[in-house]
Structures are given as C-alpha cells and as structure tokens.
C-alpha cells in the first residue's frame, strides 16, 4: 500500500508560488522589451523567472514560425500565464515590427520556442529595439541544441556548423532541392565535427520530417555521385522535451524508413565517433552494435 503523502503535498503547495502570487514579486522597468524562451515542448517548460516576467507584462507577443511547442496551444498558455497572447506572423517580426513601439511606454514580452536568441531573426529584432532606444532583457530556457546531446549522448563540443533542410520549391517549372545542407555535412564530417540539422517549418508545406530530410540528402548524394551519407550513421530525435521522446540511430538507408511519429523532428549527422559516444548511441538510441568497433578510443 502506498504511503499517504497528502500532508507533504499540502506543505509543498502552501510554500510554492502560484502564478497569481508571482505577479509584482519584483520590480519591473515600466518600459522595456523582454525576450523569453519557452523551452521545448509545452507551456510548463518555461522558467519561473520567465513566468514572473509574463505575469508582469502589459502585452505579450509570440511567434511560432521558427519553432513550435507541440505539447500545448494558445488556450493552455493563456490559462497558465494569466494573460492574453498575440501571435505574430513572420511578416510582423521581420518586415513590419510596428509593435516594437509599444515597448517605448509599456512592459512588452516576446516569446519564442526553445531558448531566446538562438535564431538570428530574434537577434535582429533585439538590435532594432536597441536602435529605437528600447531597453531589452533576455530570459533563457532549454534549447534543442543542448537537448540533442543529452538525449543522444553525443558530446556538445564536437558539433560544427548547424544547417537547415528546407522544403523543395519550384522555379520555372523545375523542382529545386537545396544542396547547402549536404555541403555543410560534408565539410563538418571532413573536419571531424557532428552536424545538427534543423528541419524546415513552413506555413503551407508543414513540418519537415527526419525521413523526408534524409530522402532529400540522399537524393543530392545520388545526383552528385558522392559518398557522404549512405554509409553514415545518423540520429533522429522526435518530440524532445516531452515525456516520451523518440531517439533512434542507424545507417541512413535504414533510418529513412523508421517511424518517428508526430513532429517536431530534428536530425544529427555525426562524424567519427568517440567510443563513449558510440556506446551512448547503442544504449540510448538503439544504434547497431558494430559501430563500437569503428569508434575512436
């Protein structure tokens, strides 16, 4: 029979600050722009510091085109954050950020998935605000860039330049597949560095999957008659930050058919593995045992 933890729960509940209690706990500058990272998966990933800033904001904006929290929605976020949230489009952020003017006289919060400032778009937005004489502040959160290391066991200092696989597009009746991701993976691999491969989020075409990204990379390889991807181990990660993330490592020609389930997905293409990394991929991501033989000591 399980013990009765009701008394303990009451004690914890009485000491833990509820959302409404966090409001006005610390003084906030009346006019400023605060960038807040929301974390990886749902509305509960935000830090207490971030939640406190939201509760003290006059207006709250969020963009979901660089990343999404797949475990929540605006209704759940507004319920926890006790405030209305306005969703901004790419155009609102990059081309017509007129809402920045609000931060000249009010306390404005700008929310993004993952960690704030990871996207160059957000850095540009902060620089615009500074040029307008607006005070800015950053409140960080968990990032997929570090989460992939924890989930896969790959060492974070061994990563090279990251890249994004975009959806193909049509130009003059011809389908264009970007070869830049392939070139970045090739360069990193040559230098002994792993490649973090972000997958495109498009308002019309949807979420790029690990499977589709591998198909496109292998298509480029076939076209160029090179041998960077076919004989390489890759790592696919789905729904990082959730209670049941999927982490799978295998040779690319086998991984392309693996069912990772719903988004968000991200891909890692490792270079030569250290033996600890190889062991981690076998035990944490179901990689073939034979990769242990080729790993560096």
**How many folded domains does the chain comprise?**
2
What pLDDT is attached to residue 15? 47
For residue 281, the enclosing domain spans: 145-294
Q: pTM, whole model, 2 decimals?
A: 0.87
Among residues 111, 142, 173, which one ends one of the domains? 142
CA 134 to each of CA 50, 87, 89, 125, 131: distance values in angstroms, whole numbers, following the listed order: 19, 21, 22, 11, 7
What pLDDT is attached to residue 16? 44
CA 93 to each of CA 11, 17, 77, 98: distance values in angstroms, whole numbers, following the listed order: 44, 33, 20, 9
Instruction: List per-residue pLDDT tens for the chain, 297 residues long.
Output: 344 333 333 333 444 455 555 555 555 567 899 999 999 999 999 999 999 999 999 999 999 999 999 999 999 999 999 999 999 999 999 999 999 999 999 999 999 999 999 889 999 999 999 999 999 999 999 999 999 999 999 999 999 999 999 999 999 899 999 999 999 999 999 999 999 999 999 989 999 999 999 999 999 999 999 999 988 999 999 999 999 999 999 999 999 999 999 999 999 999 999 999 999 999 999 999 999 988 877
130 and 162 in a single domain? The answer is no
CATH number for 285? 3.30.950.10
What pLDDT is attached to residue 31? 81
The reply to whether 179 falls in a domain is: yes
Helix or strand holding residue 255 (H, E): helix 252-255
What pLDDT is attached to residue 294? 82
The reply to whether 1 falls in a domain is: no
203 and 251 in a single domain? The answer is yes
Among residues 105, 124, 142, which one ends one of the domains? 142
What pLDDT is attached to residue 30? 72
Contact 207, 223 (CB under 8 A): no
The reply to whether 260 falls in a domain is: yes
21: alpha, beta or left, given left = phi > 0 and alpha = psi -120 to 50? alpha
């Amino acid at each position: 029979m399980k013990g009765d933890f009701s008394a303990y729960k009451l004690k914890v509940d009485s000491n833990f600050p509820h959302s409404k209690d966090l409001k006005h706990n610390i003084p906030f500058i009346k006019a400023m722009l605060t960038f807040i990272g929301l974390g990886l998966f749902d509305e509960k990933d935000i830090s207490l510091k971030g939640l406190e800033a939201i509760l003290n904001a006059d207006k709250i904006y969020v963009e979901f085109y660089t990343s999404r929290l797949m475990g929540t929605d605006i209704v759940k976020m507004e319920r926890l954050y006790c405030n209305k949230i306005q969703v901004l489009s790419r155009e609102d952020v990059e081309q017509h950020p007129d809402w920045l003017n609000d931060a000249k006289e009010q306390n404005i919060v700008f929310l993004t998935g993952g960690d704030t400032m990871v996207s160059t778009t957000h850095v540009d937005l902060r620089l615009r605000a500074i040029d307008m004489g607006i005070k800015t502040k950053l409140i960080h959160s968990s990032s997929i860039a570090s989460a992939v290391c924890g989930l896969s066991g790959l060492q974070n200092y061994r990563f090279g330049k990251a890249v994004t696989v975009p959806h193909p597009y049509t130009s003059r009746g011809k389908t264009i597949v970007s070869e830049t991701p392939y070139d970045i993976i090739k360069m990193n691999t040559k230098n002994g560095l792993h490649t973090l491969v972000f997958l495109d989020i498009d308002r019309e075409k949807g979420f790029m999957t690990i499977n589709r990204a591998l198909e496109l990379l292998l298509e480029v390889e076939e076209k160029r008659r090179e041998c960077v991807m076919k004989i390489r181990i890759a790592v696919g990660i789905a729904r990082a930050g959730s209670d049941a993330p999927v982490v799978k490592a295998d040779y690319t020609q086998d991984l392309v058919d693996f069912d990772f389930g719903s988004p968000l997905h991200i891909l890692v293409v490792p270079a030569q593995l250290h033996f600890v990394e190889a062991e981690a991929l076998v035990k944490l991501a179901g990689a073939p045992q034979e990769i242990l033989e080729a790993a560096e000591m």
